[in-house]
């Protein structure tokens, strides 16, 4: 069989570091692939005025599956200042390449599993009866709509006249904002479409049915955000009734969910939400299983493009450490999600078992697992480096 081709998108900072480590694990687990590297990130913004060059989009379009590290984004003024002198003043504006990638390929389904590993000192615990300590197993999968909502980029400060007139046609706007000078108005729109909302809901229900989760929870705010959250809740009820009557459908408000997940996280299975609340919910659940060092994700389009990435960013403050200290597990787990997707079940399960074994044994732990401040000295103080953690995982493969 010919080797699979995977597009590797290192990006910036620790993104590039953890991607290399994940590929090392994939190789060691016997997954045979050719990696073609794509340009993305800050360097290409500065040099070319585009952090997501067309050649990278072409590469992904051709090979369909990508592993992505992380990128660095900076505020507009810094982005302008760091642009190559010959490109300055030529109308280039920075926008996040990962958001661009999601929109370009319509990667509208984002899946973020949050499952605790036994023995992870960062696992959520709570006080039980008689001062005992409970450590409930968290096994939640967040389905985040990935292209719409507050991330659609349809927003204005000092909106143009036609937009302002349209706003004025809404009675609530007239009652509450008509006195505000237009130049003092900032508006970000929260757009949900029926099609994309149905797709994320269907993906959530399908996943629950396939993997035996008992409930799907819509985590929005339909009592207040009546049109968009309301649409998701209405469609969820229809889908559940017509197609998945045996799966329980729950409705939690995002604010209340943030409280409940620290009381009874074991009661949740699949969570589904729009882009913004899905981002919040997945970070919050990730916090219960060890935080960003453990938070992996997958993103899918409807036509067979898939991008796998840790949910963390480029952590620039650690990027220049001589010995990298960051936890590679989120990236390695994301690579396992890629293996699941392309049907490579054996290496996926072997790698996951190796990660579980290393964590349960507790001999090799990165600084975050030791609750240390991220400094170069953590290695002298007993924390594993990024490479040491990867080596430990590789050593456990097939054991
Ligand atoms: P970040 O995720 O890069 O780092 C936040 C903190 O989380 C770090 O300081 C570190 O304490 C911890 N952390 C992150 N990854 C870790 C790992 N693998 N192991 C151990 N600890 C880890 O987020 P931050 O600082 O808000 O953003 C830094 C840059 O990354 C920004 O330019 C931002 O725009 C970008 N970013 C990119 C994302 C992406 O590529 N998808 C996502 C989030 C942020
Ligand atoms: Mg990322």
pLDDT in tens, 155-204: 999 999 999 999 999 999 999 999 999 999 999 999 999 999 999 999 99
Q: Distance between CA 29 and CA 19 in Å, rounded?
A: 15
Percent of the chain with pLDDT over 70: 99
pLDDT of residue 152: 87
| Contact (CB, 8 A) for 249 and 233 | no
**Residue with CA at minimum distance from ligand 1 atom 44:** 313
pLDDT of residue 228: 98
- Is 0.85 topped by the overall pTM? yes
Q: Distance between CA 127 and CA 136 in Å, rounded?
A: 11
Q: Are strands 215-220 and 270-273 parallel, antiparallel or unpaired?
A: parallel
pLDDT at 118 over 80: yes
pLDDT at 394 over 60: yes
Is the shortest distance between the CB of 197 and ligand 1 below 6 Å? no
Report the 10 Å Cβ neighbour count for 104.
Answer: 18
For residues 276-305, give the mean pLDDT: 96
Is the shortest distance between the CB of 368 and ligand 1 below 6 Å? yes
Q: Distance between CA 339 and CA 45 in Å, rounded?
A: 31
Q: What distance in angstroms lies between residue 283's CA and the mean position of ligand 2's atoms?
A: 12
pLDDT of residue 157: 95
Query: Using one digit for the tens of pLDDT, what is the confidence trace for 362-373?
Result: 999 999 999 999
Share the mean pLDDT of the chain.
96
pLDDT at 130 over 60: yes
Is the shortest distance between the CB of 71 and ligand 1 below 6 Å? yes
pLDDT of residue 335: 98
Query: Using one digit for the tens of pLDDT, what is the confidence trace for 46-83?
Result: 999 999 999 999 999 999 999 999 999 998 899 999 99
Is the shortest distance between the CB of 299 and ligand 1 below 6 Å? no
Q: What distance in angstroms lies between residue 272's CA and the mean position of ligand 2's atoms?
A: 20
Q: Are strands 306-310 and 296-300 parallel, antiparallel or unpaired?
A: antiparallel
Query: What domains appear along the chain, each with residue ranges and CATH number?
Result: 1-107+301-399 (3.40.718.10), 124-152+191-288 (3.40.718.10), 155-188 (no CATH)
Listed in sequence order, the DSSP H helices in the chain are 14-28, 42-48, 54-63, 76-82, 97-104, 161-168, 171-177, 194-211, 228-243, 254-260, 275-288, 316-319, 329-341, 345-361, 386-396
For residues 269-279, give the mean pLDDT: 97
Query: Using one digit for the tens of pLDDT, what is the confidence trace for 306-330?
Result: 999 999 999 999 999 999 999 999 9
Q: What distance in angstroms lies between residue 312's CA and the mean position of ligand 1's atoms?
A: 4
pLDDT of residue 129: 87
Is the shortest distance between the CB of 46 and ligand 1 below 6 Å? no
For residues 93-111, give the mean pLDDT: 94
Q: Which two tokens stand for residue 157?
A: 């400060």
Q: 34 has which bridge partners?
A: 5
pLDDT at 2 over 70: no
């Amino acid at each position: 069989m010919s080797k699979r081709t995977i597009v590797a998108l290192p990006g910036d900072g620790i993104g590039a570091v953890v991607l290399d480590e994940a590929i090392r694990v994939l190789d060691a687990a016997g997954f045979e692939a050719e990696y073609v590297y794509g340009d993305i990130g800050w360097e290409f913004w500065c040099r070319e005025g585009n952090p997501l060059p067309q050649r990278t989009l072409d590469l992904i379009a051709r090979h369909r599956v990508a592993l992505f590290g992380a990128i660095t984004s900076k505020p507009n003024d810094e982005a302008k200042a760091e642009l190559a002198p010959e490109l300055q003043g030529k109308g280039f504006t920075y926008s996040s390449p990962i958001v661009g990638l999601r929109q370009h390929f319509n990667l509208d389904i984002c899946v973020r599993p949050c499952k605790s590993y036994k023995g992870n000192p960062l696992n959520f615990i709570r006080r039980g009866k008689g001062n005992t300590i409970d450590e409930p197993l968290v096994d939640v999968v967040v389905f985040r709509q990935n292209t719409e909502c507050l991330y659609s980029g349809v927003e204005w400060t000092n909106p143009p006249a036609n937009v302002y007139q349209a706003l004025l046609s809404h009675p609530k706007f007239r009652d509450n904002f008509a006195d505000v000078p237009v130049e003092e108005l900032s508006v970000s729109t929260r757009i949900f479409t029926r099609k994309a909302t149905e797709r994320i809901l269907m993906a959530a229900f399908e996943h629950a049915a396939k993997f035996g989760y008992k409930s799907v929870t819509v985590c929005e705010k339909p009592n207040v955000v009546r049109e968009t959250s309301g649409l998701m809740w209405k469609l969820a009820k229809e889908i559940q009734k017509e197609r998945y009557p045996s799966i329980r459908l729950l409705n939690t408000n995002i604010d209340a969910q943030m409280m409940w997940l620290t009381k009874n996280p074991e009661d949740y299975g699949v969570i589904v939400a729009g882009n913004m609340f899905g981002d919040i919910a997945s970070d919050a659940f990730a916090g219960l299983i060890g935080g960003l060092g453990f938070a992996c994700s997958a993103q899918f389009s409807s036509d067979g493009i898939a991008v796998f990435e840790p949910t963390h960013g480029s952590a620039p403050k650690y990027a220049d450490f001589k010995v990298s200290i960051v936890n590679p597990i989120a990236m390695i787990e994301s690579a396992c999600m890629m293996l699941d997707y392309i049907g490579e079940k054996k290496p996926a399960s072997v790698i996951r078992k190796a990660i579980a074994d290393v964590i349960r044994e507790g001999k090799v732990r990165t600084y975050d697992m030791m609750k240390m401040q991220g400094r170069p000295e953590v290695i002298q103080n007993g924390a594993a480096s990024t490479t040491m953690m990867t080596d430990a995982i590789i050593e456990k493969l097939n054991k």
